[in-house]
Chain A
Amino acid sequence: MNLRSVISWSVTQVILIFIFTAIFGSMSDSAALLSEAMDKFPPELLAAFGMTNMDMSTVLGFFALAFLFCQICLAIQAANYGISLLSVEERELTADFLLAKPVGRTQILTSKLLSVFTGLTITNVIVWVSSFVFLNIYKNGQEINTNALLMLLLSIVLFQLFFLTVGMVISLLVKRVRSVTTFSMALVFGLYILTAFSGMMGGTSLEIISPFKQFEPNYIIKNSAYDTPLVLLSVAVTLISIVGSYILYQRRNIPAPV
């Protein structure tokens, strides 16, 4: 993780939010038509994209759709950081250098986590600001339920922490991470597809471990609240992953270079 990566991910978010809000701005007059059109899609398809019961006629209802795409990006970003956080030293063979210095592994992990928190916070701030700015520009005179919007944006922190820490623990469970992207894509799209499938099939129980279910934008916008048990589950997984990472890293055998 470095500043350039944080910036490019943040810019991606800004562009996504801009495009979606601008689309809404240009077609909100016909938003009712859009809602009608959506109703004509097969419900399974809508469910697969998490678009069931979406109210496309309101600005926040539409924003929930945009936010889903943001979530995918935010998830990949956090998973990438989590998976590469410790494995990068082993892949680029700098682990020997770092760990031969008089510094404990706990301290290394803590400072790495602090730096990644900083990066994610920067992304967060940029998403918040651009959401508020673009929504206000393109709301077409509609009222924005600030409470619901705040809840939605606040969810990013926990959402990203989940992918960060689970990614980290995965990187420590395997011997060597050859390609970060392979792991992060598998994690993010695996969990996304899990949610999508359960939406289509209706109520299996496995999808509750997926943050895409735990922080479903549509649910948060509609209820101006979180699905508390699921959010607590998310927090629990995150905490277990953090503790697990410290334990695993402390005991890890650093593979020799070459």
Chain B
Amino acid sequence: MSIIEVNKLTKYYGKSRGIVDVSFSVDEGEIFGFIGPNGAGKSTTIRLFLSLIYPTSGEAKIFGKDCIEYGPEIRQDIGYLPSEVFYYEGMKVLDLLKYSASFYERDCTQRIHELSELMELDLKRRIDDLSYGNKKKVGIVQGLLHSPKLIVLDEPTSGLDPLMQQKFFNLIREENERGATVFFSSHILGEVQKMCNRVAIIKDGSLINIQDIKTLQKDNYKKIRVVAEGLVGKRFEIEGVSNFERENGAVSFLFKGDINAMLHIIGEKEISDVTIEEPTLEEIFMHYYE
């Protein structure tokens, strides 16, 4: 069953573009990555899910229900962690979490304490006095305290130290194992690579690719580096080569295509070294953005 179904979703802010004709779906139990640079339309998409804004055309369905028509009902089961966290001034952490919990039908008291303990969050402090990272933790706890079926993360790790990031990722994995679907928007490729099953790449408001992370990495691209004397770069410029770079006596590039043909070309000359490896998502990603 699809947890999120997006169909030709388009949003213009006046004349300026938000997203255009975006369609995809996210299955139950997936950790779905949503990746793109700033201004590509990641937050716009998420804001449409939460009906913070209304689409110009197209529709988004969550749990099979229209985001706008059934907004309050579906939000009962969504946990949202915004990229920037701001909360009511003068409130203590516990007050905010209780206020947050008061919107949900189930009792969240126990979960508040579990999560705060895990994230090392002091419940008695005033939110105004917290550091950015600690505010972020408040955001994490308020987003997860009702054990949502769908977790929507908008660049969640900024401001968290590496140790906390690790804890956070473990927490998200646990929630996922419990059955929660995760929609993970980010521009940090490493974390998406670590966490996600599938990834959608968005650029200038349009989806340019949706792929299985493993397919994206393994089946298509190889990162190749060849070291040899008197290397003629031109020889490697065949179809499927990209990100071609040359540095004293070595060439490196990404290759997508028949690996035998490539090996043949490499074998034509006496070479001193060759490495063929999986490119990081980042390298593939840059390729999409050229």
Contact = CB atoms under 8 A, between A and B. Distances in A.
B43 A100 contact: no
B104 interface: yes
Contacts of B72: 102-104, 107
A107 B44 CA distance: 24
Nearest to B80: A100
A102 B87 contact: no
Contact of A92 (B75, B76, B89, B103): B89
Nearest to B79: A100
B8 interface: no
Nearest to B143: A100
Contacts of B103: 101-103
Main secondary structure of the interface of A (DSSP, over half): loop
A96 interface: yes
Interface in A89-137: 92-97, 99-104, 107
B245 interface: no
Nearest to B75: A102
A95 B84 contact: no
B214 to A, nearest CB: 32
A97 B50 CA distance: 11
B86 A97 contact: yes
Interface string B27-60: 0000000000000000110010011111000000
B75 A253 contact: no
B172 interface: no
Nearest to B14: A175
A94 B87 contact: yes
A101 B52 contact: no
A174 interface: no
A100 B78 contact: yes
Interface in B99-129: 100, 103-104
A253 B54 contact: yes
B82 interface: yes
A102 B145 CA distance: 14
Contacts of A257: 82, 84, 86
A250 to B, nearest CB: 10
B86 A102 contact: no
Interface string B143-165: 00000000000000000000000
B101 to A, nearest CB: 10
Interface in A18-52: none
Contact of B54 (A100, A107, A251): A251
A254 interface: yes
B237 interface: no
Interface residues of B, number: 27
Contacts, number: 60
A258 B87 contact: no
A257 B72 CA distance: 21
B53 A254 contact: yes
Interface residues of A, number: 19
B52 A95 contact: yes
A100 B86 contact: no
B231 to A, nearest CB: 48
A256 interface: yes
B86 A104 contact: no
Contacts of B80: 96, 100
A100 to B, nearest CB: 4
Contacts of B84: 93, 257-258
Nearest to A256: B43
A92 B47 CA distance: 18
A102 B53 contact: no
Contacts of A254: 47, 52-53
B133 interface: no
A73 B274 CA distance: 81
Contacts of A258: 84
A92 B52 CA distance: 16
A94 B142 CA distance: 13
Contacts of B100: 97, 101
Interface in B69-101: 71-76, 78, 80, 82, 84, 86-89, 100
Given A101-B100, A102-B103, A257-B84, 12 more contacts: A92-B88, A94-B87, A97-B142, A101-B104, A102-B74, A104-B72, A253-B53, A253-B54, A254-B47, A254-B52, A254-B53, A258-B84
Nearest 6 A/B pairs, CB to CB: A93-B86, A102-B76, A101-B103, A102-B75, A253-B53, A100-B80
Interface of A: 92-97, 99-104, 107, 251, 253-254, 256-258
27 contacts: A92-B86, A93-B86, A94-B88, A96-B52, A96-B80, A96-B86, A97-B82, A97-B86, A97-B87, A99-B50, A99-B51, A99-B52, A100-B50, A100-B75, A100-B82, A101-B75, A102-B76, A103-B72, A104-B71, A104-B72, A251-B54, A253-B52, A253-B54, A256-B44, A257-B82, A257-B84, A257-B86
